[in-house]
Amino acid sequence: MLNFKILCIFSIFVQLCQINCFSVDEINTNTYTMEQEAKLDTIILGAGCFWCVEAVFQQLNGVELVVPGYAGGFTTNPTYEEVCSESTGHAEVAKITFDNSKISLSKLLEVFFMTHDPTTLNRQGNDVGTQYRSAIFCVNNEQYQLAKLFKAKIDESSIWPNPVVTEIEMLDEFYEAENYHHNYYNNNKKQGYCQYVILPKIEKFKKIFSSEIKVK
């Protein structure tokens, strides 16, 4: 079944891989040269716990920076505790900054849809709540249109028995998470959640996308 899903999503990726996004908002320009900045894009992805999303996308070649945070809600500068209480409307997300000369948005979306279950509403495994919803927050219209098309193609392919519930919205505001959430897996590898939830996701990613792993 997994191989069938891989083939289906790869087919969708091939169909869409010619479509690229070039605009970017709110990239830290202090770290990069002007030439490097021109190649950088950013997108905000929610796929359950942001520790998992961060750990997976840190492995991906072409991804320059992954920052955990919150988006999609109505509370200004929310805290982790507030988001977990489901009183803010925010989802746990990761801000992905990537080099579009090394990786396309289509490939990022392929990884996104293959490393979580986009058909479970407000849930990933045992993590339950609106903050764990599947979501894509776009920074420009090109991203929005491609994400909608990708989602529609996946639904048409019947990879999953249930419809994809991933929310696709234009980004209103991204709020960076507290410092202790940053690089969480790498700093806490022996913790139970890292061993039994995050590590299997990383291993699945490496198995499916072995040619896309970042060379350290």
Catalytic residue, candidates 8, 17, 21, 49: 49
Terminal alpha carbon distance of the chain:
32
Q: What is the C-alpha separation between 62 and 213, in angstroms, rounded? A: 9
Q: What is the C-alpha separation between 101 and 41, in angstroms, rounded? A: 10
49 is catalytic: yes
Reading the block at residue 186, the tokens are: 């790498």
Which residues neighbour 155 within 8 Å (Cβ) at sequence distance 6 or greater? 163, 164
Q: How far is CA 110 from the centre of its chain?
A: 10
- For residue 176, which of 84, 55, 53, 93 has the smallest C-alpha distance? 93
Q: Furthest-apart CA pair in the chain: how many Å?
A: 46
Active site residues: 49
